[in-house]
Structure 1
Amino acid sequence: MEREEKLYTTSADYVYDELLHRILTRQIKPGERLAEVDVAVSLGVSRTPVREALRRLASQGLLEIAPNIGARLVSPTRKDVEDAFAVRGALESIAVKLAIENIDATDLDELEDAIKREERALQREDFEEYLEVNEDFHRIIAQLSGNRVLEDFIKNCIARVSIYTVFCKSSINEVARMSLVEHKKIFDSIKEKDIARAERAMEEHMINTLNSLLSCGEKTV
């Protein structure tokens, strides 16, 4: 499937998006080094936007940058995955509670639309699109919390967790379909403004996703 063409405000945005695409499509492997000059040549840009994009990816936990070594795609351990989900689970439980207190009909429509887009991405078996809309669902809830600090922390956790999904050696189809079912449960709880049920649904979603990722990627993480 051809990628949709995008308009970029800066060269750094273009480099970031292209590198993220290569990571998500497994063109870049865990532990692989990304040399600034090589990336610049391959993308037809100077080293400055490459450096900025690499730093952005590093801030999201996707790359490691070390002096005299440069940037490498992370190669997470099992504990890295467990730690990330422990933090994300706690933060998202808080977010869903606050979201219920703030949500209105328009917000519900936006959440429901994210679920519909997730379903379509699964039907097309579009991995990149699936990851994007899957994350959108959680980002919307984080935004609805009304707490900007909480929202920023959750977005960072989402970026870290996404890379673990990429490292699954087996197909993520089963993980994705389970996630969709659980998103619907979370949505129904939010729609009914049932805070206790929503918190349980979010907690179960985090635990099940973690266990699925550890299972499908046990040779990797």
Structure 2
Amino acid sequence: MPKVSAEERAHKEIVNLILSQKYAPGDRLVEAELAQELGLSRTPVRNALRKLIAEGLLESQNNRSCTIPKITPADMEALFSVRSTLEGRAAAAAARLATAADIDHLRGLIALERKLYAEGSKDLYTEVNEKIHLGIAKLSRNEYLERFIRQTFWRAELYIFFFDRFYMRPGGPEAPLRDPDKSQSCREHARLVEAIAAQDSSLAESTMREHIQSTYQTITRRVFSY
């Protein structure tokens, strides 16, 4: 297993703090306080915060601090609209360019996603979801598309962390198993990978767009009733 750097650990732990809803939209995160809480020096924490700002999950403030962006219906609509367009284009390109090894890797992620969903392992499920979406972006072989998708992906995760039912329920080994066949996201990811495997660019693009749109619609209902 590759060694995890202090910066990578800081990045993961800060994401998990947001995922666990210890911090909420609008809350301020201070570098020194996070370093103490995580048991790390300030340098890797500072670098992790900079990366999270670049990815769109946090917003920069003065005095070595940042905030979790406030979430609004207007921001969400604009964000998911752009994300649908970008990731749809990436999926279409992936269908043209993915190798057999790439497809095997994506199918392995789908199998792992189903397992983690059933177990309710929120942090690991989040990592696999990231690998599926950003992995498809990487298969587009377009560094600009990949860069913008990474940013919109992480910003969209804020809405998912706070309003998706999977993240709102208790998780971990004590939680009852969930049925991945009843998960809209698991089903849509599987269809998406098979469209890419079939080298059907049009189907891959429409499937990705429908997936992003269905996520938006699900989250919208919860945002307005929050």
TM-score tier by shorter-chain length is: 0.7 to 0.9
Deviation of 1:41 after TM superposition, in Å, equals: 2.0
Checking the alignment, whether the CA contact within 8 Å between 2:87 and 2:149 is kept in structure 1 is yes
Q: Name the residue aligned to 1:8.
A: 4
Deviation of 1:202 after TM superposition, in Å, equals: 1.2
Q: Name the residue aligned to 1:158.
A: 153
Checking the alignment, whether the CA contact within 8 Å between 2:90 and 2:145 is kept in structure 1 is yes
Of the structure 1 ranges 22-31 and 163-172, higher mean CA displacement relative to structure 2 is found in 163-172
Deviations 1:35-75 (A, max 9, x none): 22222222233333332222222222222222359322222
- The code of the aligned residue for 2:199 comes to K
DSSP 3-state at the match of 2:183 = helix
Query: 5+ residue gaps in structure 2?
Result: 170-177
Task: Please give the residue correspondences for 1:41-190 in structure 2 after superposition, counting only pairs within 5 Å.
Answer: 41-67=36-62, 70-168=65-163, 170-172=165-167, 177-190=183-196
Deviation of 1:219 after TM superposition, in Å, equals: 4.6
When the two chains are superposed, the root-mean-square deviation of aligned CA atoms in Å is 2.4
Deviations 1:115-161 (A, max 9, x none): 10110011101111222112211122111111122112112221111
Checking the alignment, whether the CA contact within 8 Å between 2:24 and 2:68 is kept in structure 1 is yes
> Using the alignment, how far apart are the partners of 1:110 and 1:74 within structure 2?
33
User: Would the alpha carbon gap of residues 145 and 70 (structure 1) be closer, same or farther in structure 2, given more than 3 Å must change?
Assistant: same
Task: Please give the residue correspondences for 1:17-32 in structure 2 after superposition, counting only pairs within 5 Å.
Answer: 17-32=12-27
Moved over 6 A (4+): 173-176
Checking the alignment, whether the CA contact within 8 Å between 1:186 and 1:198 is kept in structure 2 is yes
Checking the alignment, whether the CA contact within 8 Å between 2:25 and 2:69 is kept in structure 1 is yes
Percent identical pairs in the alignment equals 33
- Alignment TM-score, normalising by the size of structure 1: 0.87
> Using the alignment, how far apart are the partners of 1:100 and 1:169 within structure 2?
29
Checking the alignment, whether the CA contact within 8 Å between 2:83 and 2:152 is kept in structure 1 is yes
- Alignment TM-score, normalising by the size of structure 2: 0.85
Checking the alignment, whether the CA contact within 8 Å between 2:31 and 2:46 is kept in structure 1 is yes
User: Would the alpha carbon gap of residues 106 and 12 (structure 1) be closer, same or farther in structure 2, given more than 3 Å must change?
Assistant: closer
Equivalenced residues, count? 215
Deviation of 1:171 after TM superposition, in Å, equals: 4.3
